[in-house]
Amino acid sequence: MDEPAVSRSSIRVVLLGPPGAGKGTQAQRIAGESGVPHVSTGDMFRDAVKKGTPLGREAKAYMDRGELVPDRIVIGIVEERLKGRDAHGGFVLDGFPRTVQQARALEQGLQTRGTGISHVLNLSVPAEEVVKRISGRRVCRQCGAMYHELFSPPTEGGRCDRCQGELYQRDDDREETVTARLDVYARETSPLVAFYRERGILAEIDGVGGPDAVARRITEALDGAGR
């Protein structure tokens, strides 16, 4: 079998795609298979909300409206996280960058360390499918494991298979907030597709089909011709 073009332990991946496209699902897999950390800004904010920190209180107001947390807050948090020892080799970014300003800040931050993003995976899923995925999503309050009422239900209704924790619906997964999140994605985040295409590191991934089928397409993109 051919050697991958880029060693998986040094991949620096950005996952792009609308809310509900499967970024978190695939980021967890890539990180697990590659031995690099999964860095999700959404998870970082939800954790801060759960702990009731000042950051959590500020972020919650934006998240509940389906708006983006301001760049001045997000950029600093990610810069700090990527300085972590475990992220020196590589990382999978899920939910960041989400604006051109965030993308520029990430690029500059990595350049000062003599490195850059190796792959940007753009998961495309039609709007009606992402709405289905989001409305059925349930998350374990205890361990964060993710389920879907129809596509990947837990064995016992309302309880996590791994730890028996309670499953809940995210506050921002209510119908009215989902519409706002999709609008924000189209306005603020979709320009990043052109931003990364110009840099020659964008791979378009068909995000339709089950998680295994999508993961196979990602493997081809990561282990094929990368940078």
Residue 1 CB, shortest distance to ligand AP5, in Å, is 26
Residue 42 CB, shortest distance to ligand AP5, in Å, is 2
* Residue closer to ligand AP5, measured from CB, 65 or 199: 65
Length of the chain: 227
Residue 139 CB, shortest distance to ligand AP5, in Å, is 8
Residue 176 CB, shortest distance to ligand AP5, in Å, is 13
Q: Which residue is nearest to ligand AP5 (CB)?
A: 42
* Residue closer to ligand AP5, measured from CB, 6 or 40: 40
* Residue closer to ligand AP5, measured from CB, 36 or 218: 218
Nearest to 17 by CA among 218, 226, 219: 218
C-alpha dihedral (67, 198, 77, 30), degrees to nearest 10: 100
* Residue closer to ligand AP5, measured from CB, 6 or 16: 16
**Catalytic machinery residues:** 23, 98, 137, 170, 181
State the number of CA atoms in the 13 A half-sphere of 136 facing the CB. 17
Residue 199 CB, shortest distance to ligand AP5, in Å, is 19
* Residue closer to ligand AP5, measured from CB, 36 or 217: 217
Binding site for ligand AP5 (CB under 6 A): 17, 19-25, 41-42, 45, 62-63, 66-69, 74, 95-96, 98, 102, 133-134, 136-137, 146, 148, 151-152, 172, 181, 210-211, 214
Show the 3-state SS of the chain. CCCCCCCHHHCEEEEECCCCCCHHHHHHHHHHHHCCCEEEHHHHHHHHHHHCCHHHHHHHHHHHHCCCCCHHHHHHHHHHHHCCHHHCCCEEEECCCCCHHHHHHHHHHHHHCCCCCCEEEEEECCHHHHHHHHHHEEEECCCCCEEECCCECCCCCCECCCCCCEEECCHHHCHHHHHHHHHHHHHHHCHHHHHHHHCCCEEEEECCCCHHHHHHHHHHHHHCCCC
